[in-house]
Amino acid sequence: MSAPGCSAGAHARHAFENFHGTTREGLVLESRRGMLKAGLAGVAGLSLTDLLRSRAQGAQAGSGKSVILLWMTGGPSHIDMWDMKPDRPRENRGPFLPIATSVPGIQICEHLPLQAAMMDKFTLIRSVDCQKSNHEPNMVMQTGNRDAAPRINPNGGKYPAFGSIISKFQGAKHPTMPPYVGFYRSPSHIAFGGYLGKQWDPFKGNEASRLPVYDLVGKNTGKVSSGEILESRGLSPERVQKRQSLIQQFDQVRAGMDRSGAVGAWDSYQQQAVDMVLGRRARDAFDLSKEDPSIRDKYGSHLWSQQALLARRLVQAGVRFVTIDLSYHTASGTWDNHGDNIPPYGGITKGLGPLLPLYDHLVTTLVSDLEAHGILDETLVISMGEFGRTPRIGTQQSTDGRDHWAQVMSMCLAGGGLRHGQVIGSTESDGGHIASRHVTPGDLAATIYRYMGVPLDAEYVDNTGRPYPIVMENGQPIGELF
C-alpha cells in the first residue's frame, strides 16, 4: 500500500492549492469548474476537505479503537518513577523512595500512589531503547523511526507520526471528526504528517476548546483561550450555507459535463467539511461545558487534566489518535529536569517532584473515566517521553538534576484490552543500560499498528516516489501485551 507524498514547500500552503481555483480551464468548463473550485476554496479556508476525502475509505473499514498519547515532554527520569534502584548509592538512586503496588513484586515511586493502587491496569516497559532520540523536535519515539532526528538528519522532520499513519490508513471513526488531534505548546514537541502531506498533520486541539492559559513555568495566568478554530472565521452560518447552496445549484451541470463523477465526489467531501464547522459533533466534543460537572470536578481544573478530559470526549466522538503535550515551556519541555539551578525545569526534587502527583492524578483519572464510560478496552493510553535520564544525579553543576540518557527509558501503557498488571524488560543494577527484553522504536510502532489494525507491511512514499515501510528495524509487536 502506498500514499502520495508532498513536497516540502507544500507544507506552507493550503489543502486546496492542487485544484487551482483561479486558473482558467477552457471556454465552457472554465466557468463551471472555476466557480465551483473558488466556491469550495472560499468555504474551505477550513483546510479540511482534502483530509475528509482521503480518509473516507479507511473510516468505513476502521475499527472502533483509539490511542491517547500522554507525551511527557523533555524526557522523564525512569529511575525516579518506574524503575527505581533503592539499593544503590544516593547519587544513583535519587531522592525518592519506592512503594509497593497492587501487583505483588512491582514497586514504583512514592509520589505515584494512585497509580500504585491501580497497577493491575498498567504495564511498565523498563527496557525501551531510545538511541538517537532527542527533543526540539521530538520525533523518534512519536514515529517509531530512528531516522526521525532532525538535529542530525536533514530529512528527519519528514517521517510521519503514529497518528498521521493511522489517520491515513484508517481515518476517523466518524466522518465529521478529525482523525488525529494534538494539544501542544510548541510544534517542536509533536510529530506531524511529514512525507504523507500536510493534510495528515494533527488538528490543533488547543485552538478548538476554551482552556486555562499557563505561563512557561506552570503558573495559571487566569486567562482562558478563545477556542475559536471551529467557528466560521468571520462568516455567519447563514453565509456559509448560502455558499454551499450556490455550489449545489451546479448539480445538473456536473451530471452532464463531468461524467467521471470527480466533481460530485468533491462536493460530498466539501459538505462534510462544512458539517464539521456548522454541525454539532466536533464543536460539542471540544466544548467542556457539555461535560457532566461531577466528571469535570474529578479531573480538576489544571490545564493538563482538562486536556485529558477532552481526549476522552474526543475518542468517544470519533477521533483515532490524541497527543497531549505535557509541557508548560515552549523549549525543550517541562520534564527536562537537568538541575534545580537551571530554571524553569528544576532537578529531581524541585522539578520532577511537583510533576509526579499531577501526572498520577491525571493518568489514573483518565483510565478510570475511560473504564466508567465503557471504552477503556478500545482506547490504548501510552505515557512516555523522548528518553530516560542519566544514572548519576547532579549533572551540569546541579545538586540533583539528571541529563539526557538515550540508552534506555521506561514507558507506561494502559487500556486497549491488552494484558496489564506486569513489567516488561529490565535494566542493569544502576538503571543505565538494558539487561533484558530489548524494545525498539520499531517494536513500539508495530505494537501500536497491530492494535489499531494497520497492516504492518504497509508503506508510504516520499516526494520522489521512494517507498518507506511504516515499521522500521524489523519491529515486532510486543507479544507480552497481546
Q: What is the pLDDT of residue 176?
A: 86
CB 74 within 8 A of CB 386: yes
317-375 confidence digits (pLDDT tens): 999 999 999 999 999 999 999 998 887 889 999 999 999 999 999 999 999 999 999 99
Alpha-carbon radius of gyration of the chain: 23
Q: What is the pLDDT of residue 264?
A: 46
Residue 99 sits in the same domain as residue 37: no
Domain boundary among 285, 302, 331: 285
Residue 17 lies in a domain: no
Residue 397 sits in the same domain as residue 468: yes
Residue 78 lies in a domain: yes
62/197: higher pLDDT = 197
Residue 303 sits in the same domain as residue 362: yes
- Which has the minimum average pLDDT: 7-16, 149-158, 297-306, 397-406? 7-16
Q: Is the pLDDT of residue 161 over 60?
A: yes
Domain boundary among 263, 285, 307: 285
Q: What is the pLDDT of residue 464?
A: 87
Residue 301 sits in the same domain as residue 400: yes
Residue 346 sits in the same domain as residue 210: yes
Residue 278 sits in the same domain as residue 311: no
Residue 5 lies in a domain: no
Report how far apart, in Å, the C-alpha atoms of 216 and of each of 199, 207, 310, 340, 478 are: 30, 18, 22, 16, 37
Q: What is the CATH number of the domain that holds 302?
A: 3.40.720.10
Residue 13 lies in a domain: no
Extract the C-alpha cell encoding 407.
540508552
Q: Is the pLDDT of residue 68 over 80?
A: yes
416-450 confidence digits (pLDDT tens): 999 999 999 999 999 999 999 999 999 999 999 99
Q: CB-based contacts of 210: which residues, under 8 Å, 6+ apart?
A: 224, 225, 226, 227, 287, 288
Percent of the chain topping pLDDT 70: 77
Over 11-60, what HEC string results? Answer: HHCCCCHHHCCCCCCCCCHHHHHHHHHHHHHHHHHHCCHHHHHHHHHHHH
Residue 110 lies in a domain: yes
- Let me know how long the chain is: 482
Which single residue is written with the C-alpha cell 538535529?
151
Mean pLDDT, the chain, integer: 84
Q: Is 128 exposed, middle or buried (0-12, 13-18, 19+ CB in 10 A)?
A: buried
Residue 191 sits in the same domain as residue 272: no
Region 461-474: mean pLDDT is 92
CB 163 within 8 A of CB 180: yes
Extract the C-alpha cell encoding 212.
486555562
Region 162-183: mean pLDDT is 93
Domain boundary among 264, 285, 306: 285
Residue 422 lies in a domain: yes
Q: Is the pLDDT of residue 101 over 80?
A: yes
Residue 459 lies in a domain: yes
Residue 119 sits in the same domain as residue 171: yes
Residue 267 sits in the same domain as residue 177: no
Region 400-406: mean pLDDT is 95
Q: Is the pLDDT of residue 21 over 60?
A: no
> Helix 29-43 to helix 262-278 angle, to the nearest 10 degrees?
20
Q: How many domains does the chain have?
A: 2
| Residue in 358, 353, 355 with CA at minimum distance from that of residue 302 | 358
Q: CB-based contacts of 283: which residues, under 8 Å, 6+ apart?
A: 230
**What confidence category does residue 279 fall into, taking pLDDT thresholds of 50, 70 and 90?**
low
Residue 363 sits in the same domain as residue 473: yes
Residue 331 sits in the same domain as residue 456: yes
Residue 153 sits in the same domain as residue 300: yes
Residue 35 lies in a domain: yes
For residue 39, give its domain range.
22-61+231-285
